Structure 1
């Protein structure tokens, strides 16, 4: 029985801690009576705002936790995106798909930092730009990764991992469409629930990379060999491919 690589815990830890951090923000906001609880059936005019994630993290002390959670999550998600790109690089026949996934997920991480650092009350326009980047490009990255999962078929687990990822991508897309549609109809409580579901599905999708990461090890190699200098990405790719062949 093969042992799982320690890297399998990176996506899982990311998903669990990001999820926990966002719910902590929510409970702080509810406790401070900054938002209406998600369990409320309706919201009377003039009462507390709906529990959108951005509104929950709009004012201190929840905003301080929110910024920290979003910045940390963006950094770790970017690291996962790079590792996933390196893992698939020697195996994809159409590199543009792999590159497209890396770019879209990286820009989604930039959007996460904008959401976390520019609250609605400080810069609503920039905050909304970050929200669009995080949700829109994050959803695109999920669809691309779902396709890559089936095409590459690492360890003959492409179907086992690919089908759930397609279902997650569909759920993410549906939640995003519901979110904007319900907001347009001013059904804010339902829209807030759709937004929370969307984020939970996104975190679950990224956490699912643990399936492939358990087979691989990643190392940073620093050498002082001027005759055979390699770029960081090339070094990562060769190490991943070499270790994959040994498994």
Structure 2
């Protein structure tokens, strides 16, 4: 079975792992430069030198801000790419409007991520917070919609098990986000920061689970001349013979 596995299976987990690693690198750089407090400590800000370890605060000060911006921009681009491939995979298996809503939600979420990465919290607070709400809110919507689609499509008879995992992850992300805003309103910054990090890591874990379906599909590119005569063609093949191939 491993020999029939598509190389695209690597994209979701590699994307999730690399994005998580980049965020944690920005965190440790900010920590080393005494800009934020450790996640394991209590919130005691001294002379403005230490801030609660929110993800956004790791990207407030150079050189961590440079790493943070680069990571978020790359994550937004590759995340949109993953969402497009997932859209193509599902276009013949689920309701078109639901698939489109899912794609639009996540690409808009990726746009919000670029706002978070390029407009620092301390210099452009309004834009940064809008991007953060846009990113997390639409990403949560995407998770719930994809969980539902996974259950209904039941691709290769693996959908039910994958859907259970995704529903649990979607619920966990939602709960962590609600708790985050509750703690933030009470100014319990350290606990709120931990919930924020948990939400981000759970979201990346959710995206990594797309490897389950991606291992069954091949996505290739078709080029044509001006008059429509194919120069080179390559069809996207799915192991499920009942579904039409996809082309990117």
Question: TM-score scaled by structure 2?
Answer: 0.91
How far residue 96 of structure 1 moved from its aligned partner, in angstroms, is 1.4
Question: Of residues 234, 241, 244 in structure 2, which corresponds to 1:245?
Answer: 241
**Alpha-carbon deviations, 1:205-238, whole Å to 9, x = none?**
0111011000000001102373679xxxxx99xx
Question: Of residues 65, 85, 88 in structure 2, which corresponds to 1:86?
Answer: 88
How far residue 56 of structure 1 moved from its aligned partner, in angstroms, is 1.2
Indicate the residue corresponding to 2:63 in structure 1.
61
Structure 2 segments unaligned to the other structure (5+ residues): 244-248
Indicate the residue corresponding to 1:96 in structure 2.
97
1-structure distance, mates of 2:45, 2:74:
36
Q: Evaluate the alpha carbon distance shift between residue 242 and residue 186 of structure 1 in structure 2; reply closer, same or farther with a 3 A threshold.
A: closer
* Alignment check: 8 A CA contact 2:45 2:51 kept: no
How far residue 43 of structure 1 moved from its aligned partner, in angstroms, is 1.7
SS in 1 for 2:92: coil
2-structure distance, mates of 1:226, 1:107:
34
Indicate the residue corresponding to 1:111 in structure 2.
112
**Alpha-carbon deviations, 1:13-32, whole Å to 9, x = none?**
10000000000000001100
Structure 1 segments unaligned to the other structure (5+ residues): 230-234
1-structure distance, mates of 2:11, 2:24:
20
Q: Evaluate the alpha carbon distance shift between residue 148 and residue 228 of structure 1 in structure 2; reply closer, same or farther with a 3 A threshold.
A: farther
**Alpha-carbon deviations, 1:41-68, whole Å to 9, x = none?**
x222536110000011111000000000
Indicate the residue corresponding to 1:46 in structure 2.
46
SS in 1 for 2:223: coil
Indicate the residue corresponding to 1:232 in structure 2.
none
1-structure distance, mates of 2:84, 2:131:
20
Matches within 5 A, 1:177-188: 177-188=178-189
Indicate the residue corresponding to 1:136 in structure 2.
137
Consecutive aligned runs of 4 or more in structure 1 exceeding 6 Å deviation: none
Give the structure with the higher percent helix: 1
Q: How large is the Cα RMSD of the aligned pairs?
A: 2.0
How far residue 244 of structure 1 moved from its aligned partner, in angstroms, is 4.1
Does residue 208 (structure 1) correspond to residue 216 (structure 2)? The answer is no
